[in-house]
Chain A
Amino acid sequence: SQQGEEDPQALSIQEGENATMNCSYKTSINNLQWYRQNSGRGLVHLILIRSNEREKHSGRLRVTLDTSKKSSSLLITASRAADTASYFCATILYSGGGADGLTFGKGTHLIIQP
């Protein structure tokens, strides 16, 4: 079953602008991860934020996590045409021990217009 829900489902902005995507989830988590998927390809891991972290940066990416609201946001600053892709948040339901498959949200389809 799906855990995360991204918002908005689609976002179109001009190159150079910032893009913000949100993710809400339903249950307790160990961490929340963001992935990017170019059309017809596999997913690429972008950033992982642990449940005890509130904010994390990686290059032009900034991720926040609010466990009280069960939500996360991904900010891409100074967007580029190459950032056009679908972005997914993913979580692992806490089940104790071992690695578990990630549960993905529906994704935000981001289009950067040159």
Chain B
Amino acid sequence: GAVVSQHPSRVICKSGTSVKIECRSLDFQATTMFWYRQFPKQSLMLMATSNEGSKATYEQGVEKDKFLINHASLTLSTLTVTSAHPEDSSFYICSAPRARSYNSPLHFGNGTRLTVT
């Protein structure tokens, strides 16, 4: 069964509104969660690393004020797309390793399809 739960799976919003995406680790504590973005038939691009109890680390070119990340507990990280625009329409996926180790595979949520009209 799924070990990382992501909600919602789909969301349609109007331009200018904000959308919150939740990512929960179900049977382990995730001190770190990763947020990816994927365009159709493209690879996953790492947006930011969410760390429990501290500020997220954003990849170059990702606007931290637009993509707000909160990792309030060891099992929950949220990504809020603020003042969404049509170009923010994409597939957003969260993931987390079971352990803080290079050799710990990532467990992925099922993704959120965001459409901004």
Do the beta carbons of B41 and A102 come within 8 Å of each other?
no
Which B residue sits closest to A29, measured CB to CB? B102
The segment from A11-19, A65-73, A77-85, A103-111 found at the interface with B is A103-111
Query: Which residue of A48, A100, A106 has the most chain B CB atoms within 10 A of its CB atom?
Result: A100
Q: Ordered nearest first, which 3 A-B pairs have the shortest CB separation?
A: A42-B108, A45-B105, A30-B102
Q: Which residues of chain B (91-111) have a CB below 8 Å from chain A? A: 91, 93, 95, 97, 99-111
Which secondary structure dominates where chain B touches chain A?
strand
- A and B contact pairs by CB, cutoff 8 A, 19 listed: A2-B43, A30-B103, A31-B102, A35-B106, A41-B110, A43-B93, A43-B106, A50-B103, A88-B43, A92-B102, A99-B32, A99-B100, A100-B49, A101-B49, A102-B34, A102-B46, A102-B95, A104-B43, A109-B41
Which residues of chain B are near A105, meaning CB under 8 Å? 43
- Neighbouring B residues of A33 by C-beta, 8 Å: 105-106
User: Which B residues have a C-beta under 8 Å from some C-beta of A?
Assistant: 4, 6, 32, 34, 36, 41-44, 46, 49, 91, 93, 95, 97, 99-111, 113
Interface residues on A, range: 20 to 34
Q: What B residues does A35 contact at CB under 8 A? A: 106, 108
Instruction: With a 10 A CB-CB cut-off, give which of B105, B108, B109 has the most chain A CB atoms.
Output: B105
Interface residues of A in 22-47 (CB under 8 A from B): 30-31, 33, 35, 40-45
Find out whether the CB atom of B97 lies under 8 angstroms from the CB atom of A99: yes
Q: Which residues of A contact B46 (CB under 8 A)?
A: 101-103
Question: Would you give the shortest CB distance from B107 to chain A, in whole angstroms?
Answer: 7
Report yes or no: A41 in contact with B104, Cβ–Cβ below 8 A: no
Question: Which residues of chain A come closer than 8 Å to B103, judged between CB atoms?
Answer: 30-31, 48, 50
B contact residues around A88 at 8 Å (CB): 43-44
CA distance A48 to B111 in the complex (A): 22
Q: A41-B111, A43-B108, A101-B34 are in contact. Are A106 and B42 (CB under 8 A)?
A: yes
Nearest-neighbour CB distance to chain B for A52, whole angstroms, equals 11
Q: Which residues of chain B are near A107, meaning CB under 8 Å?
A: 43
Is A59 positioned at the interface, with any CB of B under 8 Å from its CB? no
